[in-house]
Structure 1
Amino acid sequence: MVSKTFTNLSVEKQTKIRQALLKEFSAEPLATAQVAPIVKTAGIARGAFYKYFDDLTDAYKYLYGVAMRDIHSEINNETGGVFQPQFYLDQVTGFVKGARDSQYFGLIKMHLMKNESLISQGSVDPNTVTAPEWATMILSHEAIKQIIINPDSQSVIMKKLSDALDLLSGKGNA
């Protein structure tokens, strides 16, 4: 977890370090990323890096969390308790657009292609959501992943997602 020492830095210094992290983690998978280019780009000592973060994985999780908060801040998560396929389609479209338009696109693409399996992320407990909601989360994530990795497939993937969501809502035919 990012240290209090890091959060006490000036906004400018935090931004410079985040930009250095973004540069490294957008260009290199976590497995081959290194501290040296980050500290050089950020203009900080190697020891300072380890005062701010436990290790590269900690720094990566911090940055990816920042990216997700920034992109998700534009997304509405209220369904009104009703399963509405169009709502979820709009959420996927909004996330993909937000990712593409953000400074974090390279990071997100690298995450989906190389790093996702290396980072333990909190998953949704299937006992806390309905089966259609759980299936929708899994399908939506996979749709986002495929669209980010292969943007030319967006219309085909969105059509398949739409058909699957209609099936889950009871409106579609197999």
Structure 2
Amino acid sequence: MVTTTFLNLNPEKRTKIQEALLTEFSTHPLAEAQVAPIVKGARIARGAFYKYFDDLTDAYRYIYGVAMKDIHTRIDQEVATQTFNPEVYVQQVSSFVDGVMSSHYRQLIEMHLTRNESLVGNNDDSQADRLSSREWAAMILSHEAIKQILINPDRREMVLSRFRDALNLLAGKGNI
């Protein structure tokens, strides 16, 4: 886990380290990433890297978490209103994809989806544990739709259409 020492760095230094992490993890899969380019890009000592992060996986999880917080829009309308509206999910997925496509995190997220996701998994199941079965299914479908669109943007409309159809089935509107 990222240390409080890192979190308490002055914003300028922390930003420089984040940029170095983003560069390394956007251009190299986690399995091939190295500390040397990160410390060189951030202009910090190698020992400082290990003072801030346990290892490369810890640093990767940190910068990926920063990316998700920066561009992620939460689908919380259903929980607040106790309704299941498929169009809310479709709109949120579409907005998220647009946010990624125009973000400086795009390469990092594509690298995550194609090469790193299986290496780091998802450590935060607490939100998913609180969802109903229908909400959980919609969340899984949302993530898969995002992944398919980001990996192959030419299929966006087809993926969104199938996503919408699946959500309508979950809402009890439509046929199998």
So what's the TM-score if we normalise by structure 2?
0.93
Once the two structures are superposed, residues 125-161 of structure 1 have per-residue CA deviations (whole angstroms, 9 ceiling, x without a partner) of 7663222211111111110001011111100000000
Contact 1:99 1:105 in 2 (8 A): yes
Q: Distance in 1 between matches of 2:70 and 2:128?
A: 26
Once the two structures are superposed, residues 72-111 of structure 1 have per-residue CA deviations (whole angstroms, 9 ceiling, x without a partner) of 2x44522211111001001101111111111111111100
Count of matched residue pairs: 173
2:146 aligns to what? 144
| Unaligned ranges ≥5, structure 1 | none
| Unaligned ranges ≥5, structure 2 | none
Q: Distance in 1 between matches of 2:109 and 2:8?
A: 27
Q: Distance in 1 between matches of 2:74 and 2:125?
A: 19
Label 1:108 to 1:126 Cα distance change in 2 as closer, same or farther (>3 A).
Answer: closer
Task: Name the stretch that deviates more: 107-116 or 122-131.
Answer: 122-131
Aligned pairs for 1:39-54 within 5 A: 39-54=39-54
Query: Could you list the runs of 4 or more consecutive aligned residues of structure 1 that deviate by over 6 angstroms after TM superposition?
Result: none
2:92 aligns to what? 91
So what's the TM-score if we normalise by structure 1?
0.94
Identity over aligned pairs, percent: 58
Q: Distance in 1 between matches of 2:127 and 2:22?
A: 30
- Tell me whether 1:153 sits opposite 2:155 in the alignment: yes
1:78 aligns to what? 77
2:166 aligns to what? 164
Label 1:132 to 1:164 Cα distance change in 2 as closer, same or farther (>3 A).
Answer: same
